[in-house]
A and B are shown apart, each in its own frame.
Chain A
């Protein structure tokens, strides 16, 4: 580490080495400088994270403010047509929001039941050996880059969906939603499992002693006791799905569409941001500003959901 090993070499050779006492007195003066300087340097490192947040909020707010000078806030929030590139230009975010919600709801319908069932299995049923195999596999699933999931959606899930529902297009919300769901399964299952394993052994033993079967213990004792953790994991998963970018960019298409039909092509907020930044939009144009307005919406939504998840986990936790 900086400064650590260098201390001894800075000692001048002229210094008489006969007295141990002198040597340490000299060294300590250098050491005391390190002791004064390092905490300040380390504090500066820690402040980088605060600067990041300030940077995010500052850029989003100023550019969004500029954007709202041309496009009224009301039109942005409640407009039902999003057509930023083709005239007549129109900036109503509802189609992007509905697209994002459609993907997110599908993803949660996939991830929450499967993730919760996996968590119950891993925490209540699985023998230690099986746990030791399954948990790393789920961790690998969590570490797969999103672009790979995008490939998976296009190459495997979309053909299956088109075979099942011939009316589905190449780009559809269902395929992207399912794959986003698969991506967040590990998150739901590991967070829920953590909550379940925090339930004390004695509660389970009490129920077993009364003659309960394993599923009764799992569903009537463990799940209610761990409910705050489970709900907060679902909220976090929801927020994660809202922010997911590459899967929806690749598999859900780029047609802003106010529809509830999952077989249609839609566009999410994140996919729109990518679409604009791929093209050559000049700095200061209205399209450039729209990135920040959409980004702001995305940031506020995920921020509120994350706060909500933390609040649920803290406020409704059962203490034993």
Chain B
């Protein structure tokens, strides 16, 4: 240490202090995100737990807050999921297989790829405008369950395609070569070797995309998912509502009781999302353990 002069030592101490102060600042900045999440969850739990009773699940929304429920919204969300999941799975995974396994390096491929990344950045409300003009008006589907599901399918497709592409790309070259060496054709290789081994990754992506769609409000408001629905949709052409829209409806009322209802609706929504994300994580872990 004696090779340092006093001035040098002072300077080093200053730089160390600076390092320490900035370290603290960075920790504080990082914890703001964590604190915000905690505050959000606590706020919702405090407001909403009182109204979490069977009424919420068994009753339809009504003018009075007491005894008002969101049965139609919960069923609507689940129907929506059931319609959307297979359609977006087929088109999303199909597009991903094409891009990863079949597409040549030409202008069409580049165009599709660029197009997908552009679509991922389009605000969700623009998809709502698209749904309103194409599905509701042009195809005359009116403000129906199927119009909503198709709009949401277009919204989540880019997400599904990108994650499915990643999953397919992660399948090692050697697996395909082994299949070809056994005399399998291109499609046999893709459908029986590549797809099964990338399926956990694909499903994880699909589930995450579905959980995005379940929480999405703006596009469905656009295509006119009714905010007051006191019946369960019985066909694809029926009008419907979903959990986030019911929550929005309650939030836009001025009485405090409706805000409590909205909070308990949010709890239901968050639990649903938690379950979906949990299943995605479990899938991912299983997949990682297998090591492909």
Interfacial residues, chain A to chain B (CB-CB below 8 A): 1, 3-4, 28, 31-32, 34-35, 38-39, 41-50, 52-53, 55-56, 59-60, 63, 113-114, 117-118, 120-122, 125-126, 134, 137-138, 140-141, 143-152, 154-156, 182, 185-186, 189, 213-216, 218-219, 236, 239, 242-246, 249-250, 270, 273-274, 277-278, 283, 291-292, 295, 298-299, 302-303, 306, 310
Contact = CB atoms under 8 A, between A and B. Distances in A.
B206 to A, nearest CB: 14
Given A45-B91, A49-B157, A274 B221 contact: yes
Interface in B2-37: 15-16, 18-19, 22-23, 25-27, 29-30, 32-34, 36-37
Interface string B68-106: 000000000000000000000011111101110011000
B160 to A, nearest CB: 11
B112 A50 contact: yes
Contact of A143 (B93, B115, B185, B211): B211
B119 A53 contact: yes
B217 A145 contact: yes
B244 interface: yes
A56 B18 contact: no
A46 B263 contact: no
Specify the main secondary structure of chain B where it touches its partner: helix
Contacts of A243: 122-126
B104 to A, nearest CB: 11
B182 interface: no
Interface string B245-278: 0011001100000010011001001100100010
B177 interface: no
A59 B227 CA distance: 26
B129 A39 contact: no
B34 A42 contact: no
29 contacts: A3-B191, A42-B97, A47-B112, A48-B91, A49-B95, A49-B157, A56-B130, A114-B32, A118-B29, A118-B30, A120-B26, A141-B33, A143-B208, A146-B215, A152-B40, A155-B263, A156-B43, A185-B32, A216-B15, A243-B123, A244-B123, A245-B124, A249-B218, A250-B248, A250-B252, A273-B222, A274-B221, A295-B129, A303-B118
B126 A299 contact: yes
A213 B11 CA distance: 12
B34 to A, nearest CB: 5
A215 B23 contact: yes
Residue of A28, A156, A239 contacting most chain B CB atoms (<10 Å): A156
Nearest to A56: B130
Given A45-B90, A59-B133, A215-B22, A270 B125 contact: yes
Contacts of A140: 37
B251 A48 contact: no
B201 interface: no
Nearest to A283: B137
A278 B249 CA distance: 11
A151 B129 contact: no
A137 B31 CA distance: 10
Contact of A147 (B39, B122, B227, B248): B248
Interface in B130-187: 130, 132-134, 137, 154, 157-158, 161, 185-187
Interface string B274-291: 000100000000000000
A319 B118 CA distance: 25
A303 B117 CA distance: 11
B237 interface: no
A42 B95 contact: yes
A174 to B, nearest CB: 16
A138 to B, nearest CB: 6
Contact of B33 (A28, A45, A186, A246): A186
